[in-house]
Structure 1
Amino acid sequence: MRILVLDTIHGGAELAGALRGAGHEADEVDVYRGKAGTSIEEALVRTYDLVTAPVHLDPDHPLLRRHGPAVSHHEMVQRVLEERLPHPFIEITGARGKTTTAHALASLLPGPGILHTSTGTYRYPERELLWKKSITPASLIAAAHEAERIGGWLVAEESLGVTGAGDVAVLTSTEDYPIAAGKKQAIAEKCRLLSRARRIVLPPGIDLPGATAADGMVSFEGQTCRFSGNGISGAFANPLCTLAGYRTPLMLAAATACVLGVDPSPLGRFAALPGRMAARREGDLLILDNANSGTNIATTVEAARYARELSGNGPLTIVIGEEARAVCEGFSAEDVRRTVAAIEPAATVYVGEGHPAATIDAGLAIARSITPAGAIVLAVKTWR
């Protein structure tokens, strides 16, 4: 087939390469910058058997009007993978909580496997870092092939939906926002793609036909998590269960484990991830690291509350902002202002363009110099 692949920035180049490797002809177009591959002008006059585009591309883009409707990158990746699939294969998508859910679930699965997340792609049980890539649908191809090569499982974090190739698909958040030039809603696209999956696990607040509701299997009381489903029942205790940023990911991981026939009890030993409420002590100083790509007002207020709880309500310094536009959805100046006003820290260190601290490390160094005791909260939006 002759296939037109749109958007080289968000995995299109990798997807086009995989399609050529499978024997197809493929033209890739850099629809946002016009710097790579086939030009828009050339693609407009050529003929194609199929066009594939990311779900976030404006449906009124000239190439889609000329060659559409398009198959999504997610669906095209499913076609590329075909029968070369690892098992079990769990796909995870959602606006928040993907990374934590993925790490929690991977910690439960026995034997060899691959964990593919925004923090990196790791081989288990060694937890060896293999590479760091994006979580576009196309980046899943290499992870799936590696998992299949080692005869292991795959837990994969994906942006804006799932391929449907997995054994289970998990939605981590019902949070919604406009995509595709404001002509689509993210949650609608995610649900459309989720509906193609064999089995689906959902968070509270949403329903899909045939899906498993995680809160129908899992409940919390303080630090205790109880689970019952698919013939597996029990409980575990973990202080992270009291944190909003961990409660839903732990619920989803436990429910998905039950669906897979795996005991979730070892989640009692699951520790906070770097950048996601991970706390450490340096003498009289507590440092709580909540700097990640999902940092926002709610997560930062929760981080400050937790830091005060752990430090005995000592003086609190917050390091807040974003690292040089490191992520697509920034931490706006207004959101930063509202966050600081809500927390009322003893001191604030701002990070980002136009501030003395351009990075998390620089901000932390300043915070250490003015905070001999108490707590420092890192709340910088960044990829890590």
Structure 2
Amino acid sequence: MRILVVDMTHGGTILASEFSKRKDCKVFAWDIYQTLSEEDKSLLEAQGIELVGESFYESYFHENIVLENDMSRSSLKNDKSNLMVVAPVHCNLPQPPHMTHHQAVGFLLKDQINVPVIEITGVKGKTSTTAMLKEIYRDENPLILSSLGVKVVEDGQEITLQKDISITPASIITAWQLSQKFYKNKVHNVGICIFESSLGGTGLADVGVITNIAEDYSIARGSSSASKAKLQMFKSKVTVCDNESYQKTYSHHYSLNHKPNTFSIDGIGDNVNVKAHIINYGLHKTVFQVKVIDLITINGTSINTSFEVSTFAPAQHHLENTLSAITASLSMGTPIESISNGLKNFTGLPGRTSLSKVGDMVIIEEINPGINVTAVKKAVNMIKGYEKPVLIVGGSYGVTCEEIDETSLSNFLADQSDEVFMILTGDLGLSLWKQMEKQYNYCNSIELALNKSKKVGAKNILLIYRSNFSELGRR
């Protein structure tokens, strides 16, 4: 079989390498964004992988290969006359690929991973949901892939196997291989896999989670969208989805073969499986009741129950992430006691949402490379309810492919000026400051912004910063 792997920037090198190890596969690699170094090219060629360009694709893209609809059962036949194209779901090619990168990962790993798998995707909340699931399954030797790195938890101790890793689907292969190297010659091995993945699922998951479709954005040069790409998650054995996204985006989609287990705060909407109600928000701890109605587990069991949860979820969007973790765990058939205890141990996520204290000031950090206007609105609504609030907003450009709508954000922030003292910072803050005609406070660093907050007598500071955690860690 001749295989063309497209896009060496978003995990294609890993996929090309893995396909090249298979018998009777001739692999071609197209570096469509031209990001490969000479060293990377040499490494691919040393594996027998041939580097090609657009002209090679154009010569063959019209060929059709019939594969089974269920990619997990597909096989590669030794047919040298055909070319199978493997490309990311966000890649804008003249013809759809025969296999997406997500599907390729599922195909390559389907006979290797023999433990339960949870996959998490969504526009917002992926990393936080993954972190909560890590706490819930801490005693089961989980393997975790998230935007914060690859980790295993062995005998309750977290061990980082790799930092600075993307959440492209091919990173799942890297995470699994790292875990097998770590556990080689050890008594124990991975007990459960928890994988954060961008733009969909691989089909490997027992439970696939779509946290939300907040601010759906276009991909593939406007020919598709994030919500369409995430349809891949419905190839999971059981799918979990926030109710609003399911009702607005997926409920009438012809390709869905099952209804997901849905979740919502206060049960907004009909037929919600997991509801949060009687909610008492707090900065350090939020306590709420969970009601479960007709939730279906991976074993086909229907659950109807209610219980109390206490965890770190100071605002509505944090609670929504918590519900996604609860619904995923229930869908796995996990005991309620394990879910409650795990969430009780969750105290925030350094580099994303966490609390710190400087003197008499409480600082609520919302650090995220993908912060958008919706996330900012929810966070600001939270801080306005606390004593002597200050809002610090800023960040960097180019930390994700999706940039923020500055016009909408500046208009929203201008409307909040009477309710909360505001400071803008960083490159993003500078641009907003100029758009808002320099009517508000600007500081060129977070340290100066915090000093300014102290001078005005702030008690509670909300720091919203669009950045990678590694960048912020240098401050």
TM-score (norm. length: structure 2): 0.71
Do the aligned partners of residues 339 and 211 (structure 1) sit closer, same or farther apart at CA in structure 2, a change above 3 Å counting? Answer: same
Do the aligned partners of residues 295 and 275 (structure 1) sit closer, same or farther apart at CA in structure 2, a change above 3 Å counting? Answer: farther
Higher relative contact order (CA 8 A, sep 6+): 1
Aligned with 1:28: secondary structure? strand
Residue 71 of structure 1: how far off its partner (Å): 0.9
Q: Report the residue type matching 2:332 in the other structure.
A: L
Give the share of equivalent positions with the same residue, in percent.
25
Runs of at least 5 residues in structure 1 that lack an aligned partner in the other structure: none
Aligned with 1:378 (options 459, 463, 475): 463
Residue 319 of structure 1: how far off its partner (Å): 3.3
- Alignment match, 2:451: 369
Aligned with 1:369: secondary structure? helix
**Corresponding position: 1:112 with 2:151:** no
Residue 48 of structure 1: how far off its partner (Å): 5.0
Moved more, 81-90 or 147-156: 147-156
- Alignment match, 2:159: 128
**Corresponding position: 1:181 with 2:215:** no
**Corresponding position: 1:194 with 2:236:** no
1:294-305 alignment runs, 5 A limit: 294-305=370-381
Aligned with 2:322 (options 229, 250, 256): 250
Aligned with 2:126 (options 98, 102, 108): 98
Aligned with 1:55: secondary structure? coil
Residue 254 of structure 1: how far off its partner (Å): 0.9
Runs of at least 5 residues in structure 2 that lack an aligned partner in the other structure: 42-50, 61-80, 184-188, 264-271, 280-286, 296-301, 432-442, 470-475
Aligned with 2:161: secondary structure? strand
8 Å Cα contact 1:219-1:225 kept in structure 2: yes
1:46-61 alignment runs, 5 A limit: 49-60=83-94
Residue 185 of structure 1: how far off its partner (Å): 2.6
Aligned with 2:406 (options 326, 329, 333): 333
Aligned with 1:106: secondary structure? helix
Do the aligned partners of residues 34 and 226 (structure 1) sit closer, same or farther apart at CA in structure 2, a change above 3 Å counting? Answer: closer
- Alignment match, 2:361: 285
How many correspondences in the alignment? 370
Q: Report the residue type matching 1:224 in the other structure.
A: F
8 Å Cα contact 2:210-2:241 kept in structure 1: yes
Do the aligned partners of residues 48 and 29 (structure 1) sit closer, same or farther apart at CA in structure 2, a change above 3 Å counting? Answer: farther
For residues 37-69 of structure 1, the C-alpha deviation after alignment (integer angstroms, 9 at most, x for no partner) is: 433234545775311011111132xxx4xxx64
Moved more, 152-161 or 121-130: 121-130
- Alignment match, 2:33: 32
Residue 353 of structure 1: how far off its partner (Å): 7.0
- CA-based RMSD of the aligned residues comes to 2.6
Q: Report the residue type matching 1:292 in the other structure.
A: N
Which of the pair has more CA radius of gyration?
2
Residue 231 of structure 1: how far off its partner (Å): 4.7
Aligned with 1:319 (options 367, 373, 393): 393
Q: Report the residue type matching 1:9 in the other structure.
A: T
CA distance in 2, matches of 1:278, 1:27: 45
Q: Report the residue type matching 2:87 in the other structure.
A: A
- Alignment match, 1:211: 260
Residue 30 of structure 1: how far off its partner (Å): 1.6
CA distance in 1, matches of 2:97, 2:381: 48
TM-score (norm. length: structure 1): 0.87
Q: Report the residue type matching 1:55 in the other structure.
A: V
CA distance in 2, matches of 1:34, 1:327: 16
Residue 91 of structure 1: how far off its partner (Å): 0.8
CA distance in 2, matches of 1:22, 1:281: 54
Do the aligned partners of residues 44 and 198 (structure 1) sit closer, same or farther apart at CA in structure 2, a change above 3 Å counting? Answer: same
**Corresponding position: 1:12 with 2:12:** yes
Do the aligned partners of residues 38 and 354 (structure 1) sit closer, same or farther apart at CA in structure 2, a change above 3 Å counting? Answer: farther
Aligned with 2:367: secondary structure? coil
CA distance in 1, matches of 2:351, 2:326: 22
For residues 64-122 of structure 1, the C-alpha deviation after alignment (integer angstroms, 9 at most, x for no partner) is: 4xxx6431111111111121114211011111111111111121113211111112211
Aligned with 2:32: secondary structure? coil
Q: Report the residue type matching 1:304 in the other structure.
A: V
Aligned with 1:273 (options 349, 356, 371): 349
CA distance in 2, matches of 1:265, 1:34: 45
Aligned with 1:251: secondary structure? helix
Aligned with 2:175: secondary structure? helix
Moved more, 196-205 or 337-346: 337-346
Q: Report the residue type matching 1:53 in the other structure.
A: A
CA distance in 2, matches of 1:69, 1:291: 35
8 Å Cα contact 1:288-1:303 kept in structure 2: no
For residues 118-142 of structure 1, the C-alpha deviation after alignment (integer angstroms, 9 at most, x for no partner) is: 1221111322222131111111112
